[in-house]
Amino acid sequence: MCGIVGLFLKDQALEPRLGAMLADMLVTMSDRGPDSAGIAVYGSAEPGLKVTLQSTAPETDFDALKAALTAEGHPCDFTRKDTHAIFSFETPCLDRLRELLAGGFPSLTLMSQGEAIEIFKEVGLPRDVVARFGIGEMAGTHGVGHTRLATESAVTTNGAHPFSTGADQCLVHNGSLSNHNNLRRTLARDGITFETENDSEVAAAYLTHKMQAGANLGAALEAGLDDLDGFYTFVVGTKDGFGVLRDPIACKPAVLAETEQYVAFGSEYRAFVGLPGIDTARIWEPEPATVYFWER
């Protein structure tokens, strides 16, 4: 199974409540997968660079990394949330950060990078994961969440969704891809690196690759219909967009709801019941092999 939720706000008045709404939606989907949970929240984009890092030694790693970066002339600040920290840089220095992480910080993992995105994910139930990271207090413009029933790779923090393979991009997936090994090799030849053996990470990297080549989110998803083989319902976030795609067989459930205030995605209708105005929302099942996306 796996459970997916997504929320794209149209009404700014709801932005302070984005985290609370999204967290409630995700907790409702807990029955669909108990292994791990994760959430991506897009806050208002700030100039500079924002990076989410996860550590297995959070007590020491984040301070040590900050010291190392500062010593090299890359001033930064960070806010720690449990095993994760959000680092912000006035001047982007992503390449050097990656080198530092690879060289001296084996217990740190880069979860996301960009101007707006923050990703929090860990092994455990959605209720516990959203509480650990205080998702309910977060403001934002849009976000996605996932609760995982693992099929294609190990139950680890890195195997949890969302997967982020490009600046301000993320993907969550319900299903399993059958051509991910082949596609991973193809993408690797184009210089794309992978953190896990997970099939969903390949889908995320594929879309990132298409968008780097100039496609917008809609066009990248459209291309995915030809190149991604298997079962999937995807929800994808970009800095200012939100997309949904189901494979042509469409076994994996999906429901969309739209009001004047928001667009919401859920694996099941249950995920929506706490949303404002849901009783009068337009509710429909996204069609198979059809790209849906919204951009602000």
Partner 1 sequence: MQTIDLSQESLRDLNKTLQSQPPDTNQTAWEVLNPKGSHALAVGLDAPITVTVRGSTGYYCAGMNKQATVIVEGNAGPGVAENMMSGTVVIEGDASQYAGATGRGGLLVVKGKASSRCGISMKGIDIVVHQDIGHMSAFMAQKGNLVVLGDAGDALGDSLYEAQIFVRGAVKSLGADCIEKEMRAEHFSLLSDLLEKAGADARPDEFRRYGSARKLYTFDIDNADAY
Catalytic residues: 2
- How far is CA 280 from its chain centroid? 29
* Closest distance to partner 1 from the beta carbon of 132 (Å): 27
Ramachandran quadrant class, 26 (left: phi over 0; alpha: psi -120 to 50; beta: rest): alpha
Residues 6+ apart with CB under 8 A from 179: 228, 229, 230
Cα pseudo-dihedral 208, 4, 12, 44, rounded to 10: -40
Distances (CA, A) of 146 to 150, 228, 235: 12, 20, 10
**Minimum distance from residue 272 beta carbon to partner 1 (Å):** 8
Q: In the complex with partner 1, which residue's Cβ is closer, 92 or 253?
A: 253
Q: Give min distance, CB of 176 to partner 1, in A.
A: 18
Residues that bind partner 1 (CB under 8 A): 248-251, 253, 255, 268-273, 283-285, 287-288
Q: Select 101 or 271, whichever has its Cβ closest to partner 1.
A: 271
Least distance (Å) between residue 269 CB and partner 1? 4
Phi, then psi, of 261 in degrees rounded to 5: -95, -25
Q: Which is nearer to partner 1, 131 or 250 (CB)?
A: 250
Please, what is the minimum distance in Å from the beta carbon of residue 198 to partner 1?
26
105: its two tokens: 């910080």
Residue 253, preceding peptide bond in cis (omega within 30° of 0): no
194 vs 269 by CB, closer to partner 1: 269
Q: Which is nearer to partner 1, 158 or 176 (CB)?
A: 176
